[in-house]
């Protein structure tokens, strides 16, 4: 079992490692950031609890309530900013360096031919640029702050 000090999720959620562009959202309980470059899809976000948790049932009531609201609000943000055909919310948390639960919130637009779990193997011809990602982060922060948590 990996220690929280060695956990990539803990390092990001605590600010030891700063995600590219900073956090889109940060509270005492949760953080949201754009997936680290090179990002295959513009708007692919990662939602994770601040504290080291390895299973959903380990979340306390406050964490569960905020998680549900955040997933819904992130879905709204993506529909507004990138007009996806579908938004996926996936959680695995079994990588060697990150057993910390984290949700991938992934917009699948009409030009993406990978459906369902195949999205994780999707390889675009052109990756979003760092400036496109930073622009998305700024717009997502504004959209998210307009939604009530």
Q: Is the peptide bond before 133 cis (omega within 30 degrees of 0)?
A: no
Phi-psi region of 76 (alpha: psi -120 to 50; beta: other; left: phi over 0): alpha
Structural domain spans, the chain: 4-141
Q: How high is the pLDDT of residue 6?
A: 84
**What is the spatial distance between Cα 58 and Cα 75, in angstroms, rounded to a whole number?**
24
**What global pTM score does this model have?**
0.94
Q: How high is the pLDDT of residue 95?
A: 79
Q: How high is the pLDDT of residue 97?
A: 81
Q: How high is the pLDDT of residue 4?
A: 66
Residue segments in the chain with a per-residue pLDDT below the cut of 50: none
Domain 4-141 has CATH 3.30.428.10: yes
């Amino acid at each position: 079992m990996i220690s929280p000090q060695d956990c990539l999720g803990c390092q990001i959620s605590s600010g030891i490692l700063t995600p590219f562009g900073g956090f889109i959202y940060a509270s005492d309980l949760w953080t949201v950031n754009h997936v680290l470059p090179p990002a295959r899809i513009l708007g692919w976000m990662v939602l994770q609890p601040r504290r080291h948790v390895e299973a959903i049932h380990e979340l306390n009531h406050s964490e569960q309530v905020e998680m549900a609201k955040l997933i819904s609000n992130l879905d709204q943000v993506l529909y507004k900013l990138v007009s996806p055909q579908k938004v996926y919310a996936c959680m695995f948390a079994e990588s060697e360096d990150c057993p910390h639960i984290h949700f991938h919130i992934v917009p699948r637009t009409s030009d993406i031919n990978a459906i369902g779990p195949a999205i994780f193997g999707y390889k675009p011809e052109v990756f979003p640029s760092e400036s496109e990602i930073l622009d998305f982060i700024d717009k997502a922060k504004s959209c998210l702050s307009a939604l009530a948590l």
